[in-house]
Amino acid sequence: MSKEITSREQDYSKWYNDLVIKAGLADYSAVRGCMVIKPYGYALWENMQAALDKMFKDTGHQNAYFPLFVPKSLFEKEEENAEGFAKECAVVTHYRLKVNEEKKGSLMVDPDSKLEEELIIRPTSEAIIWSTYKNWIQSYRDLPLLINQWANVVRWEMRTRLFLRTAEFLWQEGHTAHATADEAIAETKQMLEVYATFAEEWMAVPVVKGVKTPNERFAGAVDTFCIEALMQDGKALQAGTSHFLGQNFAKAFDVKFSDKQNKLDYVWATSWGVSTRLIGALVMAHSDDDGLVLPPKLAPIQVVIVPIYKGDEQKAAIDEVVNKLVKELKAADIRVKYDDSDNSRPGWKFAEYELKGVPLRIGIGARDIANSVVEVARRDTREKLTLPLEDLAINIGKLLHTIQESIYNKAFAFRETHITPADSWEEFLVLLETKGGFISAHWDGTAETEEKIKELSKATIRCIPLNNAQEAGACILTGAPSEQRVLFARAY
RNA sequence: CGGGGCGUAGCGUAGCCCGGUUAUCGCGCCUGCUUUGGGAGCAGGAGGUCGCAAGUUCGAAUCUUGCCGCCCCGACCA
């Protein structure tokens, strides 16, 4: 019908775009490279935010908000960071428009409003935050400083994709300051764990935790840890990063504290973030050719109830049963929608909620009421079962739990069968072309080889997994000795 | 920035090569009736600066030139 979705097999990236648009997650906007997040997509983001925010608070963090604009002089203080982002920064140079006298009805930049100093629109907030932390930190008693902010950032990407890479996106960025390196490293790893837990338990997306190579490291970081997810097309997606920043920013912004012995030292820093890109990960990890498949824990609507009736009398009888059921479900903290709109018929609604990835659908008609049952349909497996009205809320709760586990297990099984060892360059290339996924291979540890492999195969080193098994071997490309395998993949 | 594609109603499109009444069709929308267990049927109706601008012409969605925008592929990407 009008909502045909391109199949994954036919064109995976078109399938993705179709889903995002047709399921109502987002829309293209009048601004190149920017998208509108629609209510359904935003509801998904709010659910992610709520879960993450609680995890941040539970680990001792507080939220704050810092400015969108970063004066250029501050931005450039941490040199590596500044250079890393320089190519993708939007810059504000003027603060006023005026009427264009030469062309009626149009405005022009007022040349008299040139700023003394340009303002960078934050691509990330280390600079503005560390210039502030300087004033907040004097003593070890001020540490650790554990702050997170929910914000938008702008990175002027050449090529964009809905949710996966847009010029402006929403994210959270944690910025912490510590008295010791060990403590900062512990924080970095703790937040990586938080992200991994969120991805696996809430999004039902299994991830590999690892360390980035120097090449792939965040500009200005000493170490970048990441979680890497695998999409259904065999491409990897970086789903979150946590950075140990050492004393780089403290030195750049002169942030020192007195320790217990009244000795001055620079503080140790971390930063960590996840973005609306996670929505893209969610879509690509679970969905099928009929639409989204959302994990119950994040789905804006967990259960939709569709009435099937002839005439007002039947409708009234159904309403009575459903209203009671809705109350029970809500009491059990289940997000339920009763769609009794008369605009569309049941069949249309079935397809629509499947497109939107609602985990469970309850169908209820006169026949069911007579038998005190309902029809329950699972989005993930397409199974339909008949359940008694009695104790339905309890059973629905259990089913939602089952679905959450089931889609995780499915994604996990896919991931496990798509980590493939390769021991020769030929094998490496064939695997990339035919199977995709992560390829576990030896690497000689040099940036040159990493670059060369990327150039020849389009695959990058996604990470060196944490607690990686040490194993002597020979580099896949150069044959030079190697102590461990690393994970390669083509990536988003 | 290079290569490709597209721009006609809210969405998807035909017409364009070869200029000529009132711009095609489907979905959606509005009204009414019948319907409702997998994207309903019938009848009636509303909705258009044919991306923008200039040009050629008696006449331009159609031809010419310029511009704008978006999508896809590549280069780029904590």
Same domain, A41 and A140: yes
Same domain, A428 and A460: yes
Which of A22-26, A331-335, A416-420, A486-490 comes out lowest in average pLDDT?
A: A22-26
Q: Within a domain: residue A385?
A: yes
DSSP 3-state of A379? coil
Same domain, A268 and A383: no
The model's pLDDT over A454-488, given as tens digits with 9 standing for 90+, comes to 989 999 999 999 999 999 999 999 999 999 999 99
Read off the CATH number of the domain in which A357 is found: 3.40.50.800
Q: What is the ipTM of this complex?
A: 0.88
Judge residue A276's burial from the number of C-beta atoms within 10 Å of its C-beta, 0-12 exposed, 13-18 middle, 19 or more buried: buried
Q: Within a domain: residue A409?
A: no
Percent of chain A past pLDDT 90, that is, above it, reads 85
The model's pLDDT over A27-73, given as tens digits with 9 standing for 90+, comes to 887 778 888 899 999 999 999 999 999 999 999 999 999 999 999 99
Distance A344 CA to B45 C1' (A): 20
Residue A194 has phi, psi (to 5 degrees) of: -60, -45
Same domain, A357 and A428: no
Q: pLDDT band at A374, cuts 50/70/90?
A: very high
Tokens of A253: 């912004």
Q: What is the mean pLDDT of residues A123-148?
A: 97
> pLDDT value at position A13?
84
Handedness of CA A466, A467, A471, A472 (dihedral sign): positive
Cβ-proximal residues to A272 (8 Å cutoff; 6+ apart), any chain: A173, A174, A188, A191, A192, A195, A240, A241, A242, A243
Distance A281 CA to B55 C1' (A): 51
Q: Within a domain: residue A426?
A: yes
Q: Within a domain: residue A4?
A: no
Read off the CATH number of the domain in which A60 is found: 3.30.930.10
Same domain, A333 and A273: no
Q: Within a domain: residue A145?
A: yes
> pLDDT value at position A3?
63
> pLDDT value at position A1?
37
Q: Please name the nucleotide lying closest to A28, CA to C1'.
A: B70
Same domain, A115 and A193: yes
Distance A156 CA to B73 C1' (A): 20
Q: Within a domain: residue A97?
A: yes
Rounded CA separation A346/A326 (Å): 19
Q: What is the mean pLDDT of residues A327-348?
A: 95
Distance A1 CA to B30 C1' (A): 22
* Domains held by chain A: number: 3
Same domain, A232 and A377: no
Tokens of A249: 């920013």
* Residue A98 predicted with pLDDT over 90: no
Q: pLDDT band at A101, cuts 50/70/90?
A: confident
Q: What is the mean pLDDT of residues A356-367?
A: 96
Same domain, A139 and A270: yes
Rounded CA separation A456/A411 (Å): 29
Q: Within a domain: residue A324?
A: yes
Read off the CATH number of the domain in which A434 is found: 3.30.110.30
Q: Please name the nucleotide lying closest to A153, CA to C1'.
A: B78
- The parent domain of residue A450 ranges over 419-489
Q: Within a domain: residue A244?
A: yes
Same domain, A398 and A476: no
> pLDDT value at position A75?
95
What value does the mean pLDDT of chain A take?
94
Chain B bases having any atom below 7 Å from a protein CB = 1, 10-11, 26-29, 35-40, 69-78
Percent of chain A past pLDDT 70, that is, above it, reads 99
Rounded CA separation A330/A303 (Å): 10
